[in-house]
């Protein structure tokens, strides 16, 4: 075998290795989801969704945790969406190249890399203690809002960047002010992209466990929250709690709850991808 | 009138952007104040040299080393999985795979990072550990090996997608020059494309490490809650993040020394990830300039 | 269209027969037969026959988008990496069809070197650039590599300018020097054919003149095919010229004939600058 044939062989071997690596994670994920379905699908029925948690595995349901997750989702959207989009618009459309904008930029990039549990410590001290919100849904939602703020800001900036300059020029040429141009042209044009980013960020928030544990969300809550100051649990914490119990029945519960959580996550991701594709087609 | 309206809008947008500065300021001051109170009771020398971490026992020791070693051990295992696999994927997707394949596979790979971490924790504890116990008889029910491997799977997309972007940004004519001289795709990838994209690849690795160090639920569920200074991947350990979860789940009095330990642990974690993130930001800025 | 094509074919085969009788007895270095190329649904090359003689310079001219670059890149199978690329017909190099399944593309590219439009040195040292082709073949003999690098740099007329700074980054060279480095890099592998895709389009007039001189010298040992948008350049350096238009070969003849007495009206219009 001469050196060229050898190089060719190596090339082919690497190609096979490349395909194997690409499929490695996905195959494992599939195996795992399959395993979870086997463990948990029989446990899912209407009662599982509407039952309150209980000491007995077979009587336990996810009602309070699911309601907690929905509360968290809604409040987090209300808080993080306007702030994140506004910050993104400011950075992309208003901020001039100066020290403040450089500081904002490096700061946001850093925040995106801060571990989620650190946000939990921030929420515990600021929202729970100093603002005395207690371990409430509101404290949890505020904490998660700060956590996903960098994701929303970055997505907003990317989406705004993709709007062609010609659209802005056309609007300015007709005598529109800067804000009129942004409100009437830039934001509608970048809406799909912003929406994609926001949904992805929210799907991350729904799956977060650690910061909410630190803030003081409970594993066992007898009632679903009825106002923002109520105590709460969320699906991931309910799952975590069930995983840590030794009895097999709870493992089955955990698997069933994971199916519901994954369903929510994947549906949100699917919607985000759908918006992204629809929006990209508009511009390309 | 219109001018005033415009100005008000601009200022309110600016204040939204300034929220992010307030968040950073909040994180640093909260951690610093509580950690300062902690270190007024515990000597900082003991904190870094004591080899035991037992704040919840009667015989209290406050040595961060066991938690640090647990964190680094699980992260090291995770990176050993994610780095070779993620890098191979990025090279395969950018240099070999047909475009249509790349387009379908990328969102699927990103799904790996979208799965909630508590789900991965379940996977590590209920599936991976029993599976590995068939081959490693001494493997404990809680161990850093399964937690690390599963965490590695989770961070594969962090490595692969940022690296692939960097590989993709390498000018096409460099690749063609190499092909034109009879180089195979593999030779071109490793001798020309990867070196040219090295800063982007390094950024992806740093971010992956930072992500692994800060990961909480997988290790809290599958690696155990026994702080122990060891490099043995088969025994239970506790990471910094898992310790914070452990304390938060219990009933700890605000203002007590136990309460403050989580901030002392938190600031250690924050300093690590902050340094890594800043480093990656610097490299990324430098490398953007190179290509623009 | 069909009729014109046949005519061109007939005309050419007659001409080439003549040429063959006049010159040496060995046949065409590159023989192209009925080659068609598609990118997806778009037909980029619409059936071309051509014979390229050894140790000559052949220039491809034509307006942009006429397929001349695509055609050139067929000879070292560089189009293989383009999405949707499909090809029919035969291209024979020294009598072997290079599009046969068994053909080793890497081996082929050792034989057929290529110089690109923009100088594209690797971000490595000058020495490493020239040695690259040898190293990827697995050659480790340092002395041999040193000799080859020196020889190639001398052939590319760059040696005197860089011999003291071989370790310097290739990116520090001027554009013209970079392009000569890329030529040296190609020569180091000792190909027999060199393809050049508008090699001087990114260069200043002085650097261009240097490269043209170089092409003239290299002709003795190599077969050179060059795509150029510069008609003066084609007339200055080439022995044969091929005029392409909309994926077809309109006319192929001795350069002198093409530029003084072209057969086709289209060719004349193009070289006199009436379109393009």
Report the interhelical angle of A3-40 vs B144-168 (nearest 10°). Answer: 130
Are C32 and C85 a contacting pair, CB within 8 Å?
no
Residue A228 · residue A250 · CB < 8 Å: no
pLDDT at C53 over 70: yes
Residues paired with residue C93 on neighbouring β-strands, in sequence order: C30, C96
Q: Which of C78, C117, C124 sits opposite B180 (nearest CB)?
A: C78
Predicted local confidence at residue A283, as pLDDT? 57
The per-residue pLDDT for range C220-244, each reduced to its tens digit, is 899 999 999 888 899 999 999 999 9
C-chain residues near B99 (CB < 8 A): 83
Strand-strand pairing, C85-93 and C193-197: unpaired
Q: Which of A 8-67 lie inside 8 A of C, CB atoms? A: 8
CA distance from start to end of chain A: 48
The yes-or-no verdict on residue C145 having pLDDT over 50 is yes
Query: A: neighbours with 3+ CB pairs under 8 Å?
Result: B, C
Q: Where are the beta strands (DSSP E) in chain C?
A: 30-39, 42-52, 57-61, 85-93, 96-97, 112-115, 193-197, 223-227, 240-245, 248-254
C11: pLDDT strictly greater than 50: no
Rounded distance between C-alpha atoms, residue B64 and residue B72, angstroms: 12
Q: With an 8 Å Cβ cutoff, are C106 and A4 in contact?
A: yes
Let me know if residue C42 belongs to a domain. no
Exposed/middle/buried for residue A123 (C-beta within 10 Å: 0-12, 13-18, 19+) = buried
Three-class SS state of A87: helix
Domain boundaries, chain B: 2-41, 65-291
- Residue A40: per-residue pLDDT: 87
Asked if residue C95 is part of any domain, the answer here is no
Q: What is the DSSP letter of C169?
A: B
> pLDDT-derived band of residue C8, with 50, 70 and 90 as boundaries?
very low
C-alpha C72/C-alpha A78 separation (Å) is 60
Indicate the SS3 state at residue A136.
strand
Rg (CA), chain C: 19
pLDDT computed for residue A55 by the predictor: 77
Q: Give the pLDDT score at A152.
A: 96
Residues contacting residue C145 through CB under 8 Å, at least 6 positions apart = C131, C134, C135, C139
> What mean pLDDT is predicted for residues C68-90?
90
Angle subtended at Cα C253 by Cα C251 and Cα C254, rounded to the nearest 5 degrees: 150
**Arithmetic mean of pLDDT, B47-68:** 89
Q: Using CB atoms within 10 Å of the CB of residue A284, give its burial: 0 to 12 exposed, 13 to 18 middle, 19+ buried.
A: exposed
pLDDT per residue as tens digits for the range B178-235: 999 889 999 999 999 999 999 999 999 999 999 999 999 999 999 998 999 999 999 9
| Residue B182 to residue C116, Cβ atoms within 8 A | no
- C81: in domain: no
pLDDT confidence of residue C5: 40
Of the CA atoms within 13 Å of residue B170, those in its CB half-sphere come to: 30
User: What is the three-class DSSP state of C136?
Assistant: helix
What pLDDT, on a 0 to 100 scale, did the predictor assign at position C17? 41
B22 pLDDT band, cuts 50/70/90, is: very high
**Kind plus residue range of the DSSP H or E element containing A167:** helix A165-173
State the pLDDT at residue A224.
84
Whether A7 contacts chain C with CB within 8 A: yes
pLDDT for B164-181, tens place per residue?
Answer: 999 998 998 899 999 998
- SS3 at position A246: coil
CATH of the domain at C59: 3.40.50.300
Is residue C204 predicted with pLDDT exceeding 70?
yes
Total domain count, chain C: 1
- The rounded mean pLDDT for chain C is 86
Coil vs helix vs strand at C202:
coil
Q: What CATH code is assigned to B65-291?
A: 1.10.3720.10
Decide if pLDDT at C75 tops 70. Answer: yes
The strand pairing partners of C43, in sequence order, are: C38
Q: Tell me, what DSSP letter sits at residue A231? A: B
Three-state SS at B76 = helix
Confidence of residue B66 (pLDDT cuts 50, 70, 90): very high
* Low-confidence residues in chain A, pLDDT < 70: 1, 281-284
**Chain B interface test: which of C104, C133, C190, C193 (most B C-beta within 10 Å):** C133
Mean pLDDT throughout B268-280? 94
Q: What is the least distance, in Å, from the CA of A7 to any CA of chain C?
A: 8
The domain containing residue C133 runs over which residues?
52-75+104-271
| pLDDT over threshold 60, residue C21 | no
The rounded percent of chain C whose pLDDT value lies above 70 is 89
Report how many helices (DSSP H) and strands (DSSP E) chain A contains, helices first.
Answer: 12, 0
From B83, B82, B106, select the one nearest B94 (Cα to Cα): B106
**pLDDT value of residue A240:** 94
Burial class (CB in 10 A: 0-12, 13-18, 19+), B250: exposed
B4 touches chain A (CB under 8 A): no
Contact B114 A265 (CB under 8 A): yes
More confident residue, C167 or B285: C167
What whole-number distance in Å separates Cα of residue C145 and Cα of residue C182? 17
**A55 DSSP 8-state letter:** S
**Does the distance separating the beta carbons of A149 and B121 come in below 8 Å?**
no
Q: Give the pLDDT confidence score for residue A87 in this predicted structure.
A: 96
Question: Partners for B (CB, 8 Å, 3+ pairs)?
Answer: A, C
Q: B290 pLDDT band (50/70/90 cuts)?
A: low
The residues of C whose Cβ lies within 8 A of any Cβ of A are: 104, 106-107, 110, 136-139
C175 touches chain B (CB under 8 A): no
Is any Cβ of chain A less than 8 angstroms from the Cβ of B178? no
Ranges B139-143, B255-259, C17-21: which has the least confidence: C17-21
Give the closest of A11, A86, A121 to B30, CB-based.
Answer: A121
Domain spans, chain A: 3-43, 48-283
pLDDT for the residue C275: 63
pLDDT at position C25 is 33
Structural fold of domain A48-283 = MetI-like fold (1.10.3720)
Question: Are C122 and B174 in contact (CB < 8 Å)?
Answer: yes
Q: Using CA atoms, how far apart are residues A228 and C70, in angstroms rounded to an integer?
A: 66
Residue C63 lies in a domain: yes
Q: List the 215-274 stretch of B: residues with Cβ below 8 A of A.
A: 215-217, 220-221, 241, 244-245, 248-249, 254, 262-263, 266, 269-270, 273-274
Top residue of A8, A25, A90, A151 to mutate, by most chain B CBs within 10 Å, is A25
- Alpha-carbon gap, residue B93 to B104, rounded angstroms: 11
Let me know if residue C249 belongs to a domain: yes
Q: If you measure CA to CA, which chain C residue comes closest to B98?
A: C83
Residue whose pair of structure tokens reads 């082919």 in the numeric block: A12
- Please, are residues C48 and C248 in contact by the beta-carbon 8 Å criterion? yes
Within-domain flag for C94 = no
Long-range contacts of B2-7 (CB under 8 A, 24+ apart): B2/A177, B5/A179, B6/A177, B6/A178, B6/A179
Strand pairing partners for B62?
B53
Which residues of chain A does C136 touch, with a Cβ-Cβ cutoff of 8 Å? 7
Average predicted confidence (pLDDT) for chain B: 91
B196: nearest CB among C83, C113, C123: C123
Euclidean distance between CA atoms C39 and C128, whole angstroms: 35
Contacts of B21 in chain A (CB under 8 A): 103-104, 107
Q: Measure the CA–CA gap between B196 and B290, rounded to whole angstroms.
A: 11
Distance (Å, whole) CA B105 – CA B102: 5
Residue in chain B nearest C181 by alpha carbon: B177
Q: What is the percentage of chain C residues whose pLDDT exceeds 90?
A: 59
CA-nearest of B192, B203, B191, B127 to B162 is: B203
């Amino acid at each position: 075998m001469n050196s060229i044939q050898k190089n060719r062989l190596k090339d082919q071997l690497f190609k096979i290795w490349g395909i194997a690596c690409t499929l490695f994670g996905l195959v494992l994920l599939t195996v795992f989801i399959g395993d979870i379905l086997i463990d948990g699908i029989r446990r899912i029925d209407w009662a599982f969704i509407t039952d309150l948690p209980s000491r007995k595995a077979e009587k336990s349901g996810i009602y309070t945790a699911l309601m907690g997750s929905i509360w968290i989702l809604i409040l987090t959207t209300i808080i993080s969406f306007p702030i994140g989009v506004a910050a993104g618009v400011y950075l992309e459309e208003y901020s001039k190249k100066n020290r403040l904008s450089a500081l904002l930029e490096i700061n946001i990039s850093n925040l995106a890399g801060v571990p989620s549990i650190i946000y939990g410590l921030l929420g515990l001290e600021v929202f729970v203690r100093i603002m005395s919100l207690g371990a409430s849904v509101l404290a949890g939602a505020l904490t998660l809002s700060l956590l996903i703020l960098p994701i929303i800001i970055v997505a907003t900036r990317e989406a705004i960047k993709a709007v062609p300059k010609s659209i802005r020029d056309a609007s300015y040429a007709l005598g529109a002010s800067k804000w009129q141009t942004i409100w009437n042209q830039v934001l509608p044009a970048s809406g799909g992209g912003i929406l994609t980013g926001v949904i992805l960020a929210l799907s991350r928030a729904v799956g977060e466990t650690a910061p909410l544990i630190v803030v003081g969300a409970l594993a066992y809550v007898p009632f679903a929250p009825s106002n923002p100051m109520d105590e709460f649990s969320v699906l991931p914490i309910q799952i975590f709690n069930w995983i840590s119990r030794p009895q097999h029945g709870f493992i089955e519960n955990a698997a069933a709850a994971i199916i519901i959580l994954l369903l929510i996550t994947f549906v949100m991701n699917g919607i985000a991808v759908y918006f992204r594709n629809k929006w990209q087609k508009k511009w390309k | 009138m219109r001018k005033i309206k415009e100005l008000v809008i601009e200022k309110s947008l600016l204040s939204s952007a300034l929220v992010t500065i307030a968040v950073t300021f909040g994180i640093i001051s909260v951690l610093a104040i509580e950690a300062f109170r902690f270190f007024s009771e515990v000597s900082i020398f003991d904190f870094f040299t004591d080899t035991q971490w037992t704040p919840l026992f009667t015989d209290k020791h406050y040595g961060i080393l066991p938690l640090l070693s647990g964190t680094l051990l699980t992260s090291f295992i995770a990176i050993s999985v994610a780095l070779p696999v993620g890098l191979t994927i990025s090279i395969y997707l950018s240099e070999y795979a047909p475009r249509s394949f790349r387009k379908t596979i990328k969102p699927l790979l990103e799904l790996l990072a979208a799965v909630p971490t508590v789900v991965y924790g379940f996977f590590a504890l209920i599936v991976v550990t029993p599976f590995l116990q068939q081959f490693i008889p001494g493997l404990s029910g809680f161990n850093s090996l399964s937690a690390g491997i599963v965490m590695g799977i989770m961070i594969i997309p962090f490595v692969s997608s940022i690296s692939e972007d960097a590989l993709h940004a390498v000018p096409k004519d460099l690749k063609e020059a190499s092909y034109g001289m009879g180089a195979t795709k593999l030779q071109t990838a490793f001798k020309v494309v990867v070196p040219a994209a090295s800063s982007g690849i390094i950024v992806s690795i740093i971010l992956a490490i930072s992500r692994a160090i800060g990961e909480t639920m997988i290790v809290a569920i599958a690696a155990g809650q026994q702080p122990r200074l060891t490099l043995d991947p088969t025994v239970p350990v506790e990471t910094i993040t898992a310790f914070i979860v452990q304390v938060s789940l219990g009933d700890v009095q605000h203002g007590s020394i136990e309460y403050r330990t989580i901030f002392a642990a938190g600031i250690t974690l924050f300093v690590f990830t902050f340094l890594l993130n800043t480093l990656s930001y610097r490299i990324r800025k430098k490398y953007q300039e190179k290509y623009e | 269209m069909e009729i014109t094509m046949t005519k061109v074919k007939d005309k050419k085969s007659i001409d080439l027969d003549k040429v063959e009788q006049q010159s040496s007895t060995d046949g065409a270095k590159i023989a192209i037969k009925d080659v068609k190329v598609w990118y997806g649904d778009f037909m980029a090359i619409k059936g071309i026959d051509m014979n390229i003689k050894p140790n000559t310079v052949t220039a491809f001219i034509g307006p942009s988008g006429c397929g001349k670059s695509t055609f050139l890149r067929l000879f070292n199978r560089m189009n293989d990496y383009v999405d949707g690329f499909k090809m029919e017909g035969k291209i024979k190099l020294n009598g072997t069809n290079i599009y046969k399944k068994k053909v080793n593309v890497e081996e082929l590219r050792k034989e057929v070197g290529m110089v690109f439009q923009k100088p594209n040195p690797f971000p490595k040292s000058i020495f490493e650039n020239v040695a690259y082709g040898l190293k990827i073949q697995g050659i480790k003999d340092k002395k041999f590599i040193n000799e080859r690098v020196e020889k190639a740099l001398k052939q590319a007329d760059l040696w005197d300018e860089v011999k003291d700074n071989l370790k310097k980054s290739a990116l520090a060279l001027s554009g013209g020097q970079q392009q000569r480095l890329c030529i040296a890099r190609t020569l180091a592998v000792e190909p027999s054919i060199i393809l050049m895709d508008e090699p001087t389009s990114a260069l200043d007039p002085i650097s261009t003149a240097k490269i043209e001189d170089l092409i003239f010298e290299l002709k003795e040992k190599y077969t050179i095919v060059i795509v150029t948008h510069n008609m003066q350049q084609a007339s200055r350096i080439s022995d044969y010229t091929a005029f392409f238009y909309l994926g077809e070969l309109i006319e192929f003849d001795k350069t002198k004939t093409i530029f003084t007495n072209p057969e086709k009206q289209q060719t004349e219009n193009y070289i006199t600058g009436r379109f393009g």
